[in-house]
Structure formats: C-alpha cells, structure tokens
Chain A
Amino acid sequence: MIFAIFAPLIIAILIPFLSRWKEKVHTGWLILPVPVAVFIYFVQFAGPNFEPQAYSVDWIPSLDISLSFYLDGLSLLFALLISGIGALVVFYSIYYLNNKEQLGHFYTYLYIFMFAMLGVVLSDNVFVLYTFWEFTSISSFLLIGYWHHRQKSRYGALKSMLITVFGGLSLLGGLILLTIVTGTTSIREMVSQSDVILESSYLPLILTFLLLGAFTKSAQFPFHIWLPDAMEAPTPVSAYLHSATMVKAGIYLMARFSPIFAGEPNFFIFLSLFGIVTLAWGSFMAVRQTDLKGILAYSTISQLGMIMAMLGFGTEIALFAAVFHILNHATFKGSLFMVAGIVDHETGTRDIRNLGGLMTFMPISATLALFGTFSMAGVPLPFLNGFFSKEMFFEATLANAGYGGFSDFLVILIPILAVVGSIFTFVYSMYLFFGTFRGEYQKEKVPQEPHEAPKLMLLAPFILVIGVITIALFPGFFNQGLITHAADAVTGAENNRDIYFWHGLVPAFYMSIAVVVVGALLYIFKPKWDGVYRVFPGTLSFNRVYDWGVEKLETGSNAITSRYMTGSLRLYMALLLSAIFLITTTVLILTGGANFEVNDVAPITTVEVIVAIIMTVAAVATIFTHNRIGMILVVGVIGFGLAILFVLYRAPDLALTQLIVETVTVTLFMLCFYHLPNLEKAKQSITHKTINIAISSGVGLLMMVIGISAYNSRSFDSISDYFIENSSELGGGYNAVNVILVDFRGIDTLFEVAVLFGAALGIYAMIKLRRDKGAK
C-alpha cells in the first residue's frame, strides 16, 4: 500500500524527463497507467467483507512520527475517489491541454497532489497527515498559478495559499494539542482515548484549531472566498482538486475526528451551523454567477456545506447520508466541470450570458450535463443519485430534535435553511443547463464556431455520468461494498441502512417536492427578482475584507516600519537605549537588586578626587567644545587622566599602555580633525535635547546603581590569588599581569592581535581602494 501511495510521487519526479517527448507522445498517456493501477489496487479491498488494514514504516521514531497508514472504509472511499477521478482527469486533460503547454509542470504538480491527497486520507499519524495536508495546499497553489502570466491566476493562487495554509497552521496547533493531551500521535489511539480529550481543559482550543483547519480547506463560509478564484486553474484541476478531492479534505478530517468528539455538543453545533449557512449562502450566490465555472464553484461550496452540516447533525442517518453524498457529489460535479471545460474549449467562452442553444451543436455534452445538473438539483427520478442523498439529507434535518445540545431554535432553523438552500440549488442547476444548452444561440457573442468535442474527450464525463446512474439504480451494490464501511468508520458502529428510492409520503418527500416546485417557479421568474443581488452586495464583501487585509498587511507594515526605520542613527540609539533602560530598571526594581550597603572600600584620597573632578569637567567639556583643538585637548585630558588613575591604582602596565594608546589615538584624531569640518554648535530642538539628556543620564544612573550594587554584593574571593601564587613558579615571570596575558590567558592575547591585524587591513583597504579609484 505504501508503494501505491508513493507511486504518484515517484512518477512526479520522473515527469520532467518524460515530458521531453511531449511533441511525440502527449505526456498524459505515459503516466495515465499510474492512477489506474492505484485505483485497481484499492478497488480490490472493496466488497461486503471489507476489513480495515494497517501498514507502517518508521520515519522519525524519536519524534514519534512514523509513516503509518490505516485503510478503513472512509479512507477507502476517498482513495478510490482520488485515484479514480484522478485517472479520468488525466485522461480528460490529454484532450484539454495541447502539447504546446508546459505539460511537465502540469503533471508534476498534479501527481504531487495525488500523492499528497492519498497521504492525507490514509495517514494515521497526525504529523504525517499534516505534512500531506500542507502539500495539497502547495500543489493546489502551483496548479492555480499554472498560467502564471495571467494576473488573475496569480491572485487566485496566493489567495488560496494564504487561506488554506492559515488553516493548515491552525490544524497543526490543534494536532499538537491533541498529542499533548493523549500522549500519542496515532489517530486511532486518539479515538480510543476520546474521553481523555473531552475532559481536557484544552478542548475549546482544540476544537477551534481543528474547525478552522477544516473550514478553510473545505471552503466553508466565510472562508469560501478562495474557491471561486481558484477556478483560474485549468479545468481538469478544478474538476479534480476543487470539487472532488482536495476541498473534501476538511470534510474528511471532520469525519475522521467525529468519533472523538461524539460527546461534545459544541463540535456538532458549530459544524451544523457553519455547514447549513454555507449551503444556503453558496447556493444563493451561485445563482448570480455568470461564469460557468463560477456557478460550479459556488455550487461546490454549497454542497460542501451540506456535507459538513450532515457531519454536524451527528445522527446515524446524517453521517450515512454525508458519506453517501461525498461519493455522489464527486460523480455529478466532476462530470459537470468536465462538460464546462468542454464548452469553454469548444466555444472559447465560459460566460453564460454569451452562451445558449448549444444543444444542437453539442448534443452529447448536453445530455451529460442534463444528468449532472438534474442529479445535483435533486430531481426525484430513480436514476439520479443526487436525489437519494438529498432525500436522506432532508430526513436528517428533521431528526435533530432532542439530539444532544441542539437548541430548539437550531432544530427549526436547520430544515428551513436546508430547503432554502436546496431551492436555490435547483434554480442554479436549471439555469446552468438551460442557460447553456437551450435558449437562443448567440452567434456574435461566441468566439468560436461550436461543435461537439472529440469522442475521447467526452469519455471521462461520460464514465462519471454512468456512475451517477448506476449508483442510483444499484444502490445496494455500492452500499454493501463501500458506503456502509465508510459510514462504519465515521460512526464507529455497524450500519445497516438500506438505500432505496421510494420512502413513502414522508416529510422529506414533501420537502423535495417543495424544492422542485418553488425552484422551478423561481427559475422561470428569475429576471423578475434577480435584482436582489444588486441590493445584496454578496460575497464581494468578504472578498473585500480579504483584499483589504492583504493590502493593509503590505501598506500597514510599510507604514509601521518606515515610521521607526528612518535611518537616523540618533533615533535608533535613542530607542535602543530607552529599551535597555526601561527593561533593566524594571528588573532591578522587581528583584530588589539595588544594594547600597557599602562595605570594604578603599579610603578616599585627595589626589584621586582631584583627578576624578578634572576628568569629569573634561568630559562635560566635550559637549560644549566647538573647537577642534579644544576637543583634542579635552579628549586627551580624559585619556591621560585615566592613565594617572591606573598608576594610582597599582596598574603600571595599564598606565603605560593607556599612555601609548592615548597618544596614538590623539594623533589619529588630529589627522582626522584636520580633514573633517569644524565642530558646530549642536543645533537641536529643545525636545531632542531633553530626550538626549534624559536618556543619557538615565542610562548613566542605572549603570551607577548596578555598579555600586554589584560591588557591594561581592560574594566570592577572586580567582586571582592563584595567579599571584603561581605566576613566578609555573608561569616563569614576576609580573603577574604579563604572565596572565601571555600564558594563562594566552588565547585572549593571540586573538587580540588578530583584531589589530583585521583593523589594520580594513583601514588599509579603505584608504587604498580610494586611491585606486582616484587613479582611474
């Protein structure tokens, strides 16, 4: 099985080489066998006697990350969708993309996606799951941006990436919390520890994180805004990622975790609420779209909302219907996307206002679309699988009364929104079909003379439509082999539900009838009421929030950053010093570190005090001197004063060095002073001056307090006695300072020389390079 998962990745790596021959053989043909083989591999597991399987390989055992895969009914359903629709999409794309395109890129991204998506639905280890999860986001980004010379593609790619990676990171947070709570990284073991998770105080945070992850990926309101823009991707991609598979990853996640949260009402309330709102909003918005793929995108959003809501109801029938609808949606929506792609391909436009009357030119496409749209609309006919799951959905919406945590308000609201959403679903389904294929053909608005697509291009949607019909006609076969097992995995119990067309005159049936009748009326009178969309700004408002957010991120951060990154050394220094001052002072006060209990100090002598006073005066004078010579003088005074202090404090070597260094420095100063302009009276505003004085005296005072406290807090004898005792004997010298320098701490001295060496070369380079330039 691991090979089956990794096969697409291996091929993805080889594709850039295979695509070299794209002039001769369309790359798609070369790689088509892979998803077919994977599909065949997984289909072997399906059947009434299915038993879950587990496989595992170590990856990073020390972090408890292993490539452990677990195939249960839910995973199997998804694996079959991924490989099956994957194969059809690759086949379809052979006709959709010609060999002038960068096929290598396209198929590499697509197969990386296939690999990642298989990984998502089969991983048992949460971190491996997360890894695959992010990879689906990234491959989706690359696929949406496939035609990256188009501005809209780039916009859509970035949007989808930002939103889905945001969700991914949130998911990561939730998964880490789950591992902390349960102490395991395996989803199965988490499920068995569900009570521990439910009792944890982190539960609200875990739920928030996980729901954000799922809602962003599965385009739930209000995170749905990325999906319509993702339609910039080539149509095979839209059919595959953005309707059948990737967008269902969030649904998969929720289904996978719902056994854990089975006792947590908030989980179900949030899922139902967001799901049902997404359903209603998505279908409402779909009606106003004019782009075929736009309609399908909103329709996908709405259908995802419906599945999410069913997961949220949490009743046995709802979960069963959810799983069933995952399969049904993939079949009819996949075929519709492909037909939309064919229409686009053959006419050169996807704008439904320009289309119409294509039935006569493209009868087969139209027939396929007829099945797809009617199934999507939930028209009660025994050969449309959409009706079956929709009917169950209605039944489920009515079964929430008395169910844990649902308030009466929700119990009533849910069926109402379900019906409203379904009515609009019916409207846009009709609009989609009749608007494209019936009505008048508008020759002047269609860029290309339309004609039927090549037979083989029609094959992929045809197979999907066959799926629509066979599932409806033989529901038992699919139920026994696949759907029941998937439902078992979600509910955690055995399901014995039968799928059949006629339920009798139950409330759900009346709801279906109401949907059809009201929907038909609304469709017929659409021109009379669709002005409502002008009043209702619609999804654009959420898009505006996103656009505003992204723009503000850039302009806002520019505004903030350029506010303090002005390039002014003074400002930088002032900010830096203030920060040091404030934080250090706070710590000093908090710890009560100040210590003024003076003990053990040397006596005060007049000479030293005089030197100190002279140095202070000289230091103050540096501020007020505006004369070059004066400046040299005062700087010199301070330096030589320091040398005198060194002498007084029994440091002859220091005094000597200080004298030499000071002399050289003063000379250097003189050289530079000669070239640099004369000092000016510092022109600074009073505010600046006050701030400067405040900062420098503050920092000085702080250092003084710390210094005095540190001196008074002496707790140990210095290690220096050792040097005194041993320098002549072991170090072979009588001057302890020298012995320390050359022997005890010889490394210091060696690298001190290295510093001088570096400084000298640097100075040389600075001066020399100028001469070279001057010579030119």
Chain B
Amino acid sequence: MEIIMTVLASILFAIGVYNLLQKQLLRIVVGTVLVSHGAHLYLLTMSKLKRGAPPVLEDGVTQYADPLPQALILTAIVISFGVTSFLLVLAYRTYTLNKTDNMEELRGNEHD
C-alpha cells in the first residue's frame, strides 16, 4: 500500500509541477496546492501506514500509528494554509493592478 501511496503522492506532485509551468495565474496556484498535498502525503506514507490504532492512548492497545509524522503534517498543513491564502490574495491583487492573469505578460522589462 505504501508503494501505491508514494505513486499517488508523486502523481499529485508531478501534476502540480505541470500546473506550475502554465501561464494562467489560477492554474499556478492550483499547482502549488497539489504540490503541497503531495508533500503531506509523502510525509505520512514514509512512516509506515496502518500499523496499529490512532495515536490516542487507550488501555489494552499496544500498537499505535506513528504520531510524529502526524504532528509534523499538522504543522505543515496549517503553514501551507497560511501561505496559500496569502498567495491567493497576492494573485488577486496582482491581477487587479496589472490587469492580466497571464504570467507571460507579467514578465516585465526585467533586464536592462
């Protein structure tokens, strides 16, 4: 199962990257969301899946799922949420100011 989940995470990652390579701002934002989903799934998968009960201690249960990655993912999810929200607003503001959502038109006269 872990192998399948790694494959799934990689698919999410790859499609996320593909979206990052697009021109339209929204697609790029969607790309980042997919990449972060992929990353979280990797983290979970890497700690062995389904070994024992949820890490909420109960009497009589000796096997628990690995709690550490879960804690890390939780932190990571919250952080990505913050950053993604920021990114969304930034994308929106960039669009309203620059009047385009096409990143190729947002190159600017960068190098002179």
Contacts and interface: CB of A to CB of B under 8 A. Distances in A.
Interface of A: 558, 561-562, 565-570, 573-574, 577, 598, 600-605, 608-609, 612, 615-616, 619-620, 622-623, 631, 635, 638-639, 642, 645-646, 648-654, 657-658, 661, 664-665, 668-669, 672-673, 675-677, 679-680, 682-684, 692-693, 695-697, 699-701, 703-704, 707-708, 710-711, 718-720, 723-724, 727-728, 734-737, 740-741, 744-745, 748-749, 752, 755-756, 758-760, 762-763, 766-767, 770
Nearest to B19: A622
A697 B14 contact: yes
Nearest to A745: B71
Contacts of A668: 84-85, 88
Contact of B101 (A566, A648, A650, A676): A676
A735 B68 contact: no
B17 A635 contact: no
Contacts of A683: 23
Contacts of B72: 748
Interface of B: 1-28, 30, 33-34, 37, 40-42, 44-58, 64-68, 70-75, 77-79, 81-86, 88-93, 95-96, 101, 103-104, 106-112
Given A654-B70, A692-B18, A752 B75 contact: yes
A740 B37 contact: no
Contacts of A573: 20-21
A521 to B, nearest CB: 59
Contacts of B78: 657, 661, 752, 755-756
B36 to A, nearest CB: 10
A669 B63 CA distance: 40
Given A568-B107, A602-B2, A737-B70, A767 B89 contact: yes
11 contacts: A623-B19, A648-B50, A650-B52, A651-B44, A657-B77, A657-B78, A658-B77, A664-B85, A737-B70, A745-B71, A767-B89
A720 B37 contact: no
A760 B7 CA distance: 35
A756 B111 CA distance: 35
A602 B49 contact: yes
B30 A649 contact: no
Contacts of A608: 1, 4-5
A631 B3 contact: no
Contact of A700 (B17, B28, B82, B108): B17
Given A615-B12, A719-B68, A665 B81 contact: yes
A598 B70 contact: no
Given A665-B33, A676-B25, 18 more contacts: A568-B104, A608-B4, A619-B16, A645-B5, A653-B74, A665-B84, A672-B91, A672-B92, A675-B95, A695-B17, A700-B10, A701-B14, A703-B42, A707-B6, A720-B67, A734-B56, A745-B75, A763-B85
B75 A741 contact: yes
A558 B109 CA distance: 14
A707 B10 contact: yes
A604 to B, nearest CB: 5
B106 to A, nearest CB: 8
A605 to B, nearest CB: 7
Nearest to B109: A567
